[in-house]
Amino acid sequence: MNLRQFLSPPPLRAIILLWLAWLAILISFQTLVLERFELRRPDRVLEWTPGDTTRHNPAQEPSLTEPFLNTQVNMDSEYYISIATVGYDDPLPGEMERPRGEPIKLNYAFFPVYPYLMRAVSVPLTLFGLNQIATATLAGVIVSALGALAAMFALYDLCRKELGAEGGLRAGFYLLIFPTGFFLAQVYTEGLFLGLSFVSLALMRRKHLLWASALAALAVYTRAIGVALVIPLAYAWFQQWRAAEQPRGRILLNLVFVILPLAAYALWRFSAWGEMFTLVQENYFGRKFLWLDVTWQSLANAWSIALAGKFQTSLYYGLEFAAIGLGIVACVLTARRYPEIALYSFIVLFIPLTSGYLQSNQRYVLAMPALFLALARLGKNVVFDRAWSLLSILWMGLLVTLYSFDFWTA
- Between 6-10, 53-57, 195-199, 225-229, the lowest mean confidence (pLDDT) is in 6-10
Distance CA 365, CA 361 (A): 6
For the packed helices 382-404 and 369-378, what is the interaxial angle rounded to 10 degrees?
Answer: 140
Residue 288: per-residue pLDDT: 87
Element (H or E) spanning 96, and its range? Answer: strand 95-96
Of 2, 135, 10, the closest CA to residue 63 belongs to 135
Q: Is the pLDDT of residue 57 over 60?
A: yes
Q: Are 198 and 155 in contact (CB under 8 A)?
A: yes
In a domain, 5, yes or no: no
- Domain around 135: 14-404
pLDDT, average across residues 42-65: 78
Q: Are 122 and 136 in contact (CB under 8 A)?
A: yes
In a domain, 306, yes or no: yes
- Between 159-168, 297-306, 361-370, the lowest mean confidence (pLDDT) is in 297-306
Q: Are 171 and 156 in contact (CB under 8 A)?
A: yes
pLDDT, average across residues 221-250: 86
Instruction: Give the CA count within 13 Å in the CB-facing half-sphere of 263.
Output: 8
pLDDT, average across residues 113-120: 97
Distance CA 87, CA 108 (A): 10
Size of the chain in residues: 410
Residue 23: per-residue pLDDT: 97
Element (H or E) spanning 261, and its range? Answer: helix 255-269
Task: Please list the residues that pair with 181 across neighbouring strands.
Answer: none
- Between 203-217, 292-306, 358-372, the lowest mean confidence (pLDDT) is in 292-306
Where helices occur in 106-185 by DSSP H, the ranges are: 113-125, 132-177
In a domain, 8, yes or no: no
Q: How many domains does the chain have?
A: 1
Percent of the chain whose pLDDT exceeds 70? 95
Contacts of residue 18, defined as CB under 8 A and 6 or more positions apart, other chains included, come to 152, 169, 172, 173, 176
Q: Which amino acid is it at 370?
A: A
In a domain, 7, yes or no: no
Residue 60: per-residue pLDDT: 63
Distances (CA, A) of 349 to 46, 73, 153, 327, 395: 22, 24, 22, 7, 20
Where helices occur in 67-131 by DSSP H, the ranges are: 77-85, 113-125
Residue 374: per-residue pLDDT: 97
Distance CA 120, CA 116 (A): 6
Residue 339: per-residue pLDDT: 95
